[in-house]
Amino acid sequence: MTGSPLRPEDALAELASQLREEGPVVSSHVSESDATPAIGLLVAAGPRCVADPGAYATVVELVREGYLCHYREPRLLGRLDADLRLLVGDHLYARGIERLARLGDLLAVGELSDLISIAAQLDAGSGSDSDAGEIAWLAAAVAIAAGPGAGHEAAKAVLRESGDAEPLWMAARERAERTGLSEHLSRASEAVGFAAPNRG
């Protein structure tokens, strides 16, 4: 990197560059991606992240890549075999949480720690909404970007207890509306494949 501030839209390119420095186990499997770092862009647009939006976008996308290694298809590390994906995914989780702690953002550390736990619980269980994992991601991103709304913690508890993600989605959408992030939330929803219900 140069001395220029990192742009949030370059988060995946920056992340790929960082992963190539991880050592041969990871670096030889890194590929470029033309995907949009939509979750990172949502976080970076929020008032809580204005001091260093590029750093926030990159660290959130680092944790996102760890999640994708576990449960979906990673964008930068798709050439890893299945067993190695799980190990690298855990490593990326830890790296992301560590970097957020270095930023001094305990709220973001808590949100992403909760998100990692919720994702594992959803994967192990049954009966949850098919979109629950992505809704949990979008809600965590809004909370990191703008602070959690009044119903955020209660809605996370509902998701944990029943698998019902709708209250969490509604709380995230309301918070995004109140903080000027609705358009960013809509774009992130589309990017992760969640067809947000259109309630007037």
pLDDT score recorded for residue 2: 44
Dump pLDDT digits (tens) for 71-90: 999 999 988 888 899 999 99
pTM for the complete prediction? 0.93
Mean pLDDT over the full length of the chain = 93
pLDDT score recorded for residue 198: 59
CA distances from 144 to 30, 107, 129, 163 (A): 27, 7, 23, 22
pLDDT score recorded for residue 197: 73
CA distance 132 to 151: 17
User: Which regions in the chain score pLDDT beneath 70?
Assistant: 1-4, 127, 198-200
pLDDT score recorded for residue 151: 96
The two three-digit tokens of residue 6, written as one number: 């990192």
